């Protein structure tokens, strides 16, 4: 890719991946318009927590100019407890835990200077134009010589708008409309169900007992039983509070649900609508949650029973994963990044990291240290290997046996394939 200045870039999707790419590009003087289908600047995370992995930390170290307060909480490591709440094992594995909301507002502060409770003194510093265009939903992409015509729907007027861009970045998540533009047959199959659910919820730290707080000790705490495991870690409060008491104890409970009838029943909301991927907070039918709480009381360790019982707005997501066959289209004028390119099962908590990885690799192309062909190979490799590792992790905890053996074999194949291809590309 020639870095002729300034490129007119359209980014579809203004969440983590879209904003990271927008910040990197405007700092280099490019003009960026983010098309975001949400109609409001104020957005709520799912209080499901996000791990700031190594690439997220590298990205923020280089690009975050809002240093007024930290963006993540220190988590010393992973601890495992048994059903009597006794410590069984500790793994020294320091992590940085944050929330979607914290990252979103921090990235908005850096992209277009959005002032929020999380970043009250925001001021942007990119030299290129930075537009966060709300209520715009992608309709189609068409090649127009050296550029791309982007058609989007204005959700407030219903009208279709047309824009022209030198580069289009598809950062529109796991149901990506950009990806569907090139793979229309994938509609409806973009998130195949893995056979188990992730029940999620959060409780304000000040609302849990001293006993539970002192047992968790800011660690990533895990309780495991056959076909189930539940974990909890601390994330910033919904208004960004980082002080003890203001923070949220955020749990994820993986629970097998292979039966189609059970799945449909759980995913049917209070209005009778059946959901395919996520039942958002506030939508779960009370009898479904009551049943899940009873299961917790019968089987889980006491701190987790307390968290499940006190969770005011639980929600549930069908676990799934996916990988697109290519990251570049129309002679590199359209690229896919983040969840739009590869969706991981949540066990390894690397989705935000992928967004940062894709962005930092693109920066190398613009710096002349890499090429788009290399970028395509690297991001696909990262997506494929990380996705398969997330399948190994899920198979280990939920199934064991043949599914685990198969997932490990595929992971081994993916790693070997990468070695052979790297060798080949080094030669030619």
In the complex with ligand FAD, the residue whose CB is nearer, 52 or 81, is 52
In the complex with ligand FAD, the residue whose CB is nearer, 171 or 348, is 171
In the complex with ligand FAD, the residue whose CB is nearer, 257 or 340, is 340
In the complex with ligand FAD, the residue whose CB is nearer, 51 or 377, is 51
Closest distance to ligand FAD from the beta carbon of 11 (Å): 9
Query: Residue written as tokens 């990252």?
Result: 103
First to last CA, the chain: 20
In the complex with ligand FAD, the residue whose CB is nearer, 102 or 222, is 102
Residue nearest to ligand FAD (CB): 338
Closest distance to ligand FAD from the beta carbon of 141 (Å): 11
Burial class (CB in 10 A: 0-12, 13-18, 19+), 53: buried
In the complex with ligand FAD, the residue whose CB is nearer, 394 or 404, is 394
> Is residue 250 within 8 Å of 194, Cβ to Cβ?
no
Q: Which of 376, 380, 378, 377 is nearest to 388 (CA)?
A: 380
- Coil, strand or helix at 390: helix
- Applying CB under 6 A, the residues found at the interface with ligand FAD are 12-18, 35-38, 43, 45-50, 100, 137-138, 171-173, 177, 338-340, 351-352, 355
Query: Residue written as tokens 């009838």?
Result: 261
- Residue 268 DSSP symbol: B
Question: Which residues does residue 199 pair with via DSSP β-bridges, in sequence order?
Answer: 253, 316
Closest distance to ligand FAD from the beta carbon of 200 (Å): 8
Beta strand residue intervals within 135-209, DSSP E: 136-144, 147-154, 160-165, 167-170, 193-204
In the complex with ligand FAD, the residue whose CB is nearer, 44 or 291, is 44
For 324, phi and psi rounded to 5 degrees?
A: -85, 150
In the complex with ligand FAD, the residue whose CB is nearer, 17 or 348, is 17
In the complex with ligand FAD, the residue whose CB is nearer, 30 or 51, is 51
Closest distance to ligand FAD from the beta carbon of 152 (Å): 7
Helix residue ranges per DSSP H, 311-400: 351-366, 372-398
Closest distance to ligand FAD from the beta carbon of 183 (Å): 15
> Is residue 167 within 8 Å of 7, Cβ to Cβ?
yes
Closest distance to ligand FAD from the beta carbon of 100 (Å): 3
Beta strand residue intervals within 185-343, DSSP E: 193-204, 220-225, 228-235, 248-256, 278-279, 315-320, 322-323, 328-329, 334-336, 342-343
Closest distance to ligand FAD from the beta carbon of 137 (Å): 4
Closest distance to ligand FAD from the beta carbon of 333 (Å): 18
Query: Residue written as tokens 């229309």?
Result: 184
How many residues are given for the chain? 428
Closest distance to ligand FAD from the beta carbon of 31 (Å): 18
Dihedral, CA atoms, 143, 145, 147, 148, nearest 10 degrees?
-10
Classify residue 13 as left (phi > 0), alpha (psi -120 to 50) or beta: left
For 402, phi and psi rounded to 5 degrees?
A: -60, -45
In the complex with ligand FAD, the residue whose CB is nearer, 30 or 179, is 179
Question: Which residues does residue 345 pair with via DSSP β-bridges, in sequence order?
Answer: none
- CA–chain centroid gap for 142, Å, is 28
Closest distance to ligand FAD from the beta carbon of 427 (Å): 34
Burial class (CB in 10 A: 0-12, 13-18, 19+), 266: buried
> Is residue 333 within 8 Å of 148, Cβ to Cβ?
yes
Closest distance to ligand FAD from the beta carbon of 133 (Å): 9
In the complex with ligand FAD, the residue whose CB is nearer, 81 or 197, is 197
């Amino acid at each position: 890719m020639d870095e002729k200045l300034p490129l007119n870039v359209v980014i579809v999707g203004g969440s983590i991946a879209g904003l990271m790419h927008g910040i990197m590009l405007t700092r280099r003087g490019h003009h960026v318009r983010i098309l975001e289908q949400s109609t409001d600047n104020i957005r709520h995370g799912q209080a499901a927590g996000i791990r700031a992995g190594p690439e997220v930390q590298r990205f923020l170290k280089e690009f975050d100019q809002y240093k007024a307060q930290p963006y993540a909480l220190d988590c010393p490591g992973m601890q495992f407890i048994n059903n009597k709440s006794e410590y069984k094992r500790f793994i020294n594995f320091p992590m940085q835990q944050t929330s979607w909301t914290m990252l979103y507002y921090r990235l908005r502060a850096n992209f277009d200077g959005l002032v929020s409770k999380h970043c009250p003194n925001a001021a942007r510093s990119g030299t290129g134009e930075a537009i966060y265009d709300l209520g715009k939903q992608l309709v189609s992409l068409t090649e127009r010589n050296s550029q791309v015509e982007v058609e989007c729907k204005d959700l407030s007027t219903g009208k279709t708008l047309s824009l022209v861009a030198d580069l289009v970045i598809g950062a529109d998540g796991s149901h990506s409309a950009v990806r569907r533009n090139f793979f229309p047959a994938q509609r409806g199959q973009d998130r195949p169900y893995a056979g188990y659910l992730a029940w999620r919820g959060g409780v304000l730290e000040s609302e849990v007992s001293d006993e539970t707080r002192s047992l968790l000790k800011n660690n990533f705490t895990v309780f495991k039983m056959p076909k189930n495991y539940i974990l909890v870690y601390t994330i910033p409060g919904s208004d960004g509070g980082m002080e003890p008491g203001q923070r949220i104890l955020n749990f994820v409970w993986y629970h097998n649900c292979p039966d189609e009838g059970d799945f449909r029943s759980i995913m049917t909301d209070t209005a009778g609508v059946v959901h395919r991927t996520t039942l958002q907070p506030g939508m779960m039918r009370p009898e479904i949650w009551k049943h899940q709480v009873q299961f917790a009381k019968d089987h889980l360790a006491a701190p987790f029973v307390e968290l499940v019982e006190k969770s005011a707005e639980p929600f549930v997501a069908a676990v799934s994963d996916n990988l697109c066959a290519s990251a570049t289209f129309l002679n590199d004028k359209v690229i896919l990044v983040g969840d739009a390119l590869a969706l991981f099962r949540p066990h390894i908590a690397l989705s935000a990291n992928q967004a940062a990885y894709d962005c930092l690799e693109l920066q190398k192309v613009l710096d002349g240290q890499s090429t788009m062909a290399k970028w395509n190979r690297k991001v696909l490799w990262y997506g494929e290997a990380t996705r398969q590792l997330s399948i190994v992790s899920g198979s280990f905890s939920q199934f064991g046996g043949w599914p685990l053996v198969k997932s490990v074999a595929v992971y081994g194949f993916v790693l070997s394939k990468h070695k052979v291809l790297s060798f080949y590309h080094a030669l030619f």
